[in-house]
Amino acid sequence: MSHLFDLSGLTALVTGSSLGIGNALAWGLAEAGADVVVNGRNAERLAEAASRLREEGFKVHELPFDACDAGAVAQAVDRFEREVGSIDILVNNAGMQHRAPLEDFEIEAFDRLMRTNVSSVFYVGQAVARHMISRRQGKIINISSVQSALARPGIAPYTASKGAVTNLTKGMATDWAMYGLQINAIAPGYFDTPLNAALVNDPEFCAWLEKRTPAGRWGNVEELVGACVFLASKASSFVNGHTLFVDGGITASL
């Protein structure tokens, strides 16, 4: 059965892959055989991430662009497809968090969060899908969140943005499955990442999370790799528009 999960000969673009979840997924896809294209806005940090992958013998491309800039996205994707080769797998991982009481949430922060978490998924997804459609095959994996199904105080706009990602995933599948594309999402629960550093360092929150989550702990980013490889591989050839929760059971219990 291993051939179903073998990504050899395929190229995977992972947005926001210098750090955190995106970096872990880039490593996982590389270990499954894919050539990986790392992306981020910080060219220096991106070069460091690519260097670490190359040290392990993986084939890596660097593609710095701002996923929130539609023009820059289209230019970068089209140039890569023209000069390097096809993007067979896309992981839309770029995202951000901003915490504040909803009544005090700044308009600029709201707009920035929506551009980063939702618009980028549309921009990069559309740019890559146009090439996938012409080849009549491709995999797109959007990174949603457990917050697409649950809410906590202080992150209402983030919750809205991830709900949008989940529903945009359904819409992408509805429009593009006819062309041989599979578009799905992964909804991580609470993972120990730089985005969650403030919570990881809060003993009171950690105690709450351990009681609230049936698994009784934070997730490790490496535990997202299996879900990503599954959705990127032939093993998921008839899975479309689905959101796979990887959350230690937090959405299964009260």
Buried b or exposed e, range 211-225, using 16+ CB within 10 angstroms: eebeeeebbebeebb
Residues 123, 158, 179, 190: which is the catalytic one?
158
Q: Is residue 190 annotated as part of the catalytic site, yes or no?
A: no
Among 237, 242, 9, 25, CA closest to 137 = 237
Domains and CATH numbers, the chain: 2-246 (3.40.50.720)
Q: What SS3 class is residue 249? A: coil
- Asked if residue 93 lies in contact with residue 25, where contact means CB atoms within 8 angstroms, the answer is yes
pTM here? 0.96
Q: Distance (Å, rounded) from C-alpha 103 to C-alpha 125?
A: 32
Per-residue confidence (pLDDT) for residue 1, from 0 to 100: 76
Q: Distance (Å, rounded) from C-alpha 147 to C-alpha 162?
A: 6
Q: Distance (Å, rounded) from C-alpha 45 to C-alpha 23?
A: 11
- Asked if residue 142 lies in contact with residue 125, where contact means CB atoms within 8 angstroms, the answer is yes
Question: What is the full per-residue pLDDT of the chain (254 aa) written as tens digits?
Answer: 789 999 999 999 999 999 999 999 999 999 999 999 999 999 999 999 999 999 999 999 999 999 999 999 999 999 999 999 999 999 999 999 999 999 999 999 999 999 999 999 999 999 999 999 999 999 999 999 999 999 999 999 999 999 999 999 999 999 999 999 999 999 999 999 888 888 999 999 999 999 999 999 999 999 999 999 999 999 999 999 999 999 999 999 98
Among 226, 245, 138, CA closest to 187 = 245
Per-residue confidence (pLDDT) for residue 175, from 0 to 100: 98
Q: Half-sphere exposure of residue 172, counting CA atoms within 13 Å on the CB side?
A: 35
Per-residue confidence (pLDDT) for residue 196, from 0 to 100: 86
Tokens standing for 224? 């997202």
Q: Distance (Å, rounded) from C-alpha 163 to C-alpha 185?
A: 11
Q: What SS3 class is residue 40? A: coil
